[in-house]
Amino acid sequence: MKIYLKFSTALLLFAASPFILTSFHINLLTEILIFGIFALSLNVIVGYTGLVSLGHAAFFGAGAYTAGIIAQNISANLLFTLGGAVLLSVILACIIGLFCLKVSGFYFLMLTLAFSQMVYSFVYQSTGWTGGSNGLSGIPNPILFGWELSNTVWVFYVVASLFLVVYAILGIITESPFGKVLVGIKENEKRLKSMGYHTNIYKYAAFVISGIFGGVAGALYTYFNGFIAPSDIYWTMSGTVLIMVLIGGAGTMLGPVLGAALIVLLETIVSTYTNMWMMILGAVFIIFVIFFPSGIYGISKDIFKGIQNHTVRPKVKNISNEKVS
């Protein structure tokens, strides 16, 4: 019940925002939601399965470029472009996953990086389709049921609804028995195998799911921006989204979204005041690691728990006495 309440509130808030916010802020919010989806998708493998990828931009880029190229050459119909983006992300994830899941830990990180850089090189070199280093510009606005989404507000509504859908889907997946298995894999894969789980299949499924929603985020970014650059598929993009997940709180649903919001806001706001925004961003990372290692989500939870502890329970509890035997 509570869940539905939360969702309706979010829905109402989103519906109302264009009437409250300026278009600059709507743009900002749209971007946050897109990166929120992107971070959520990465979180499936990083936060839940414990596979840290530094190549997630490959899916974002694949989704973005596919949507853009389809819109330019075939049809700007949103269902078409989004469908194409999803299809290509699936194929890409299936291929990359096949190789990357053979390794683990830091090697996984680097192998995903390698594949995404290969995709990057491909995009960069295929000047004819992708515009190469100049990027792909002049992409027509998406069309939904014959309606051209020509302004920020429409795009925002599309992004916001898809965000809610993705959030719900991923929420259900991670809460499901399947999600529990992923968490188990992150904890102790060997034991899970002994329990009878074919862990490779689970990891592969998680990887593909993660890739799909990465692609969705990419396609949305194309609708939002009307322009795609190779930098969207570069490793720095993978790095940024990984940071969003880590700073927000890996392995939680809300965390990555909060992380995306923080990073997008910081980049936008800080860089209007100073050219030294990298220093400030860096300082924020450091502060998080040293003082709030469990991320934004962790902070809010700690604060919440702190209040509870002070009011409800004594601070030190005696575990030994709890034992029932």
Ligand X SMILES: Nc1ncnc2c1ncn2[C@@H]1O[C@H](COP(=O)(O)OP(=O)(O)OP(=O)(O)O)[C@@H](O)[C@H]1O
Residue 148 phi, psi dihedral angles, 5° rounding: -80, 125
Alpha-carbon span 307 to 287, nearest angstrom: 23
- Does residue number 27 form part of the binding site for other proteins (CB under 8 A)? yes
What x/- string results for residues 142 through 161 when contact with other proteins is judged by CB under 8 A? ---------xxx--------
**What is the rounded distance in angstroms from the CA atom of residue 142 to the CA atom of residue 134?**
22
Shortest Å distance, C-beta 82 to other proteins: 20
- Please, what is the Cα angle at 237 between 287 and 34, to 5 degrees? 90
Nearer to ligand X, 275 or 325 (CB): 325
Specify the stretch interacting with other proteins by CB under 8 A; choose among 4-12, 33-41, 81-89, 131-139.
131-139
Identify the residue among 74, 118, 165, 168 touching other proteins (CB under 8 A).
118
Residue with smaller CB distance to other proteins, 79 or 198: 198
Contact (CB, 8 A) for 230 and 132: yes
Pair type for strands 147-148 and 143-144: antiparallel
| CA–CA distance, 75 with 106 (Å, rounded to integer) | 41
304/312 Cα distance (integer angstroms): 12
Per the CB < 8 A criterion, the answer to whether 114 and 102 are in contact is: no
Interaction pattern, residues 68-87, with ligand X; x per rule: CB under 6 A:
--------------------
The residue within the footprint of ligand X, chosen from 320, 321, 324, 325 (CB under 6 A), is 320
Which of the stretches 34-42, 75-83, 208-216, 245-253 binds other proteins when contact is defined by CB under 8 A? Answer: 245-253
Contact 163, 177 (CB under 8 A): no
Rounded distance, CA 130 to CA 222, Å?
13
Of positions 275, 319, 324, 325, contacts ligand X by CB under 6 A: 319
CB of 159 to other proteins, least distance (A): 14
Only one residue has tokens 């702190």, namely 306
As a whole number of angstroms, the distance between CA 297 and CA 281 comes to 18
Closer CB to other proteins, 79 or 272, in the complex? 272
CA 33, CA 36: separation in Å to the nearest integer?
5
Q: Are the C-beta atoms of residues 212 and 89 closer than 8 Å to each other?
A: yes
List the interface residues with other proteins, window 285-314 (CB under 8 A): 285-286, 288-290, 293
Query: 22 or 320: whose CB is closer to ligand X?
Result: 320
CB of 150 to other proteins, least distance (A): 9
Rounded Cα distance between 206 and 321, Å, is 41
Count residues binding other proteins (CB under 8 A): 103
198 versus 310: smaller Cβ distance to other proteins: 198
CB of 95 to ligand X, least distance (A): 33
- Does residue 318 belong to the site contacting ligand X (CB under 6 A)? no
Is residue 316 part of the contact set for ligand X (CB under 6 A)? no
Q: Which of residues 56-115 bind other proteins (CB under 8 A)?
A: 99, 102-104, 106-107, 110-111, 113-115
Residue numbers of the site for ligand X (CB under 6 A)?
319-320
